[in-house]
C-alpha cells in the first residue's frame, strides 16, 4: 500500500511553547541510530498489512499525545502510584489502540541502538509512516524529542471532542497555535480510521444536516441503544485510503461525526472544505506541513525528560 505521492517538507523545526535548550533536527540520530527510520518503516509496513486500521490508530495516538502537554509520549505511560495516566481518560478509554505496535518498534530499536531513541520520536515516525502506507504524504520528521516522566489525565480535556461545534474546534486548535485552515486540514486525518457508535449515534438519529440515505446506512450498525462499540468508517467512500474523499463526504452531508460536519455547515470553514474536496494534492501537501508543526508542540529536548527503556514506564 505504499504511496507514490511523496512530500518532503523542509522547514526549520521551531519548538513551540517550550523552554527547551535545543531544537529538533531531522538528522538527530544520523550517527547514533542510523537504521532507525528503516526499522520503524518495516514494522509499520507489517502492522498495516496485518491490520488496515493500524495506520489510523497510530496517527490518532500521536494526535492525542501531542495535544496533551506536547509530543512527549505521555500517552503511552501506564498508571503508577504517583500519577494517573492518560489511557483511561474519556477521549482514550477503550478506543486508543496500537500500543503493542509501538512496543514492538521500541524493542527493535533498543536492540539496534540501546537507550538512544525516545518513545516520542518512535511515535512521531510511526504516525508518518502509517499515513504514507495508506496513500498519504511523506513528510520529514524532525527528531530529538525526549520522553516525559509523568502524564496528566486531566489535561486530556485539551483534545477536541467529537461533539464540538465549529467555534469550539477553532478555539481548541488555536490554543495550540493552529489557524482555522490548519484545523480543517488536520481534521482530514479522518479520511482513514473508524469511530464507535457511541460517538456518532446522536448525529445519525437526531441531526438534520445529514444525508438521509447515509444516516439510514449507519443506523444499520448503530442501534438507538446498545452496540456502543460497533464501528463505522469515518470516510465511508475510501475507508483505508488517505485521500480527499473525507472533504467530499462533508460537502455531501455525509460526515460521520458531529464535529466533522461542523466544518461544512454554513460556517467560516465551508470554503476550505470545498477547496480540499477538489484538490487532493493540496490536501496532502498542507497535511504534511501541519503534521510537522504539530510534531513541534512543546517537545522535551536537551536534558529535559528522559529516554525511556520501556515506553509504558518511566526509568
Q: Tell me the pLDDT band of 78, cut-offs 50, 70 and 90.
A: very high
Higher pLDDT, 1 or 216: 216
Q: Tell me the pLDDT band of 245, cut-offs 50, 70 and 90.
A: very high
- Is the pLDDT at 16 greater than 80, yes or no? no
Per-residue pLDDT, averaged over 21-50, amounts to 94
210's grid cell: 445529514
User: Half-sphere exposure of residue 64, counting CA atoms within 13 Å on the CB side?
Assistant: 30
Greatest alpha-carbon pair distance for the chain in Å reads 57
Q: Tell me the pLDDT band of 63, cut-offs 50, 70 and 90.
A: very high
Predicted local distance difference test score (pLDDT) of residue 22: 58
258 is catalytic: no
Per-residue pLDDT, averaged over 13-42, amounts to 78
Per-residue pLDDT, averaged over 16-27, amounts to 62
Of 64, 190, 258, 312, which residue is the catalytic one?
64
Predicted local distance difference test score (pLDDT) of residue 39: 98
Q: Tell me the pLDDT band of 145, cut-offs 50, 70 and 90.
A: very high
Q: Tell me the pLDDT band of 230, cut-offs 50, 70 and 90.
A: very high
Per-residue pLDDT, averaged over 177-203, amounts to 98
Per-residue pLDDT, averaged over 169-195, amounts to 98
99's grid cell: 500500543
Share of the chain above pLDDT 70, in %: 93
- Is the pLDDT at 10 greater than 60, yes or no? no
Amino acid at each position: 500500500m505504499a504511496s507514490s505521492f511523496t512530500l518532503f517538507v523542509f522547514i526549520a523545526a521551531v519548538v513551540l511553547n517550550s523552554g527547551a535548550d535545543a531544537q529538533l533536527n531531522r538528522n538527530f540520530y544520523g550517527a547514533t541510530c542510523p537504521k532507525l527510520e528503516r526499522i520503524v518503516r518495516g514494522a509499520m509496513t507489517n502492522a498495516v498489512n496485518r491490520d488496515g486500521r493500524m495506520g489510523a490508530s497510530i496517527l490518532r495516538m500521536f494526535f492525542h499525545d501531542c495535544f496533551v502537554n506536547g509530543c512527549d509520549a505521555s500517552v503511552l505511560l501506564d498508571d503508577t502510584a504517583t500519577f494517573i495516566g492518560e489511557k483511561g481518560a474519556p477521549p482514550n478509554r477503550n478506543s486508543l489502540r496500537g500500543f503493542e505496535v509501538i512496543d514492538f518498534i521500541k524493542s527493535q530499536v533498543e536492540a539496534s541502538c540501546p537507550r538512544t531513541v525516545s518513545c516520542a520520536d518512535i511515535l512521531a515516525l510511526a504516525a508518518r509512516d502509517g499515513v504514507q502506507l495508506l496513500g498519504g504524504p511523506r513528510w520529514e520528521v524532525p527528531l530529538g524529542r525526549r520522553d516525559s516522566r509523568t502524564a496528566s489525565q486531566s489535561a486530556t480535556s485539551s483534545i477536541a471532542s467529537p461533539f464540538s461545534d465549529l467555534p469550539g474546534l477553532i478555539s481548541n486548535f488555536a490554543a495550540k497555535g493552529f489557524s482555522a485552515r490548519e484545523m480543517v486540514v488536520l481534521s482530514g486525518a479522518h479520511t482513514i480510521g473508524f469511530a464507535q457508535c457511541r460517538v456518532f449515534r446522536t448525529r445519525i438519529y437526531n441531526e438534520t444536516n445529514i444525508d438521509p440515505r447515509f444516516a439510514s446506512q449507519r443506523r444499520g450498525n448503530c442501534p438507538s441503544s446498545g452496540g456502543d462499540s460497533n464501528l463505522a468508517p469515518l470516510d465511508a467512500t475510501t475507508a483505508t485510503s488517505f485521500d480527499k474523499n473525507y472533504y467530499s463526504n462533508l460537502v455531501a452531508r455525509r460526515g460521520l461525526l458531529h464535529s466533522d460536519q461542523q466544518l461544512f455547515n454554513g460556517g467560516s470553514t465551508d470554503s476550505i472544505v470545498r477547496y480540499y474536496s477538489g484538490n487532493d494534492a493540496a490536501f496532502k501537501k498542507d497535511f504534511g506541513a501541519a503534521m510537522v508543526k504539530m510534531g513541534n508542540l512543546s517537545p522535551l529536548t536537551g536534558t529535559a525528560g528522559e529516554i525511556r527503556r520501556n515506553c509504558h514506564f518511566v526509568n
